[in-house]
């Protein structure tokens, strides 16, 4: 294992993130705070409780997922796409790096950024609403697995994309709508029976449900199913990333 190569990529990605700290951290935290003000305070005060949890506290896991999914994909996809766009990918390809070392560097940095963002949002949420974490270890595990899985997915998007426009297509047109429709702001038990079954097709439902269970012990889907789904998604992304790197799929743009 070439740990020097992994360290170089990881440090470069983290340094790039630190140079744009205002955009990387302040913007997501500010937008999340606005969600808390509008949904938690203004609307939540009139909605009462959902399964014994105040609405402001109920939406915390969903808001965290909304930010983490977006940031994980954005950081990882930009990290690998920029060398393709700038023409410096050949330097990375000529270095003694295997597919595992490339993933550790790029995906590891993106995962770290998302974990830090999640912790900051959790601290920010305390300013607006009181909450308790019933299963803190599970919460950290779900946060890590989600950040890792979608950082891998973002890496795949960065390899697949050929233009800056394509880089934003899947996050904006697919993942964000799925998150809003995946129970971020409501329980799927509130939907009509038919739509409850349709909603289960949405993979983000399992992420939000499992994450919410780690906070309050309530879930729309059994915790075992949620865990299995995220592990399945992680495995598929990992195998796909391995194939794309080893085969050189669009690495040279």
Lowest-confidence pick of 11-15, 37-41, 130-134, 139-143:
37-41
Q: Are 175 and 70 in contact (CB under 8 A)?
A: yes
pLDDT value at residue 141 = 93
The predicted model scores a pTM of 0.89
Q: How far apart are CA 27 and CA 11, in angstroms?
A: 22
212-245 pLDDT per residue, tens: 999 999 888 899 999 999 999 999 999 999 999 8
At residue 57, what are phi and psi to the nearest 5 degrees?
A: -75, -35
Q: Cα(31)–Cα(68) distance, rounded to whole angstroms?
A: 13
In this prediction, residue 136 carries a pLDDT of: 92
Phi, psi at 53, each rounded to 5°: -115, 135
The whole-number pLDDT of residue 154 equals 93
Which has the higher per-residue pLDDT, 50 or 104?
Answer: 104
Domain coordinates of the chain in residue numbers? 3-247
* Structure token digits, residue 86: 């700038």
**Tally of CA atoms within 13 A in the half-sphere of 234 that contains its CB:** 16
Dihedral over Cα of 210, 216, 218, 220: its sign: negative
Cα 44 to Cα 29, 31, 36, 38, 133: the distances in Å are: 19, 17, 9, 8, 20
């Amino acid at each position: 294992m070439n740990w020097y190569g992994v360290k170089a990529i990881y440090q470069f990605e983290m340094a790039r993130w630190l140079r744009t700290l205002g955009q990387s951290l302040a913007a997501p935290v500010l937008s999340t705070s606005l969600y808390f003000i509008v949904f938690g305070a203004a609307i939540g005060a009139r909605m009462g409780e959902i399964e014994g949890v105040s609405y402001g506290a109920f939406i915390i896991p969903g808001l965290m997922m909304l930010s983490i999914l977006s940031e994980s994909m954005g950081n990882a996809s930009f990290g690998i796409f920029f060398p393709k766009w700038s023409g410096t990918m050949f330097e990375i390809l000529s270095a003694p790096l295997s597919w595992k070392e490339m993933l550790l560097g790029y995906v590891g940095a993106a995962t770290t950024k998302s974990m830090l963002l999640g912790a900051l949002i959790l601290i920010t949420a305390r300013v607006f609403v009181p909450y308790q974490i019933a299963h803190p270890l599970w919460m950290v595990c779900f946060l890590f697995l989600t950040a890792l899985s979608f950082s891998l997915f973002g890496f795949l998007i960065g390899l697949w994309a050929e233009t800056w426009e394509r880089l934003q297509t899947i996050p904006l047109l697919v993942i964000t709508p799925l998150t809003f429709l995946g129970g971020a702001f409501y329980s799927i038990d509130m939907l009509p029976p038919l739509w409850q079954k349709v909603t289960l097709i949405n993979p983000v439902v399992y992420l939000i449900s499992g994450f919410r269970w780690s906070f309050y012990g309530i879930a729309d889907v059994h915790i075992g199913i949620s865990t299995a789904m995220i592990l399945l998604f992680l495995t598929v992304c990992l195998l796909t990333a391995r194939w794309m790197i080893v085969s050189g799929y669009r690495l040279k743009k």
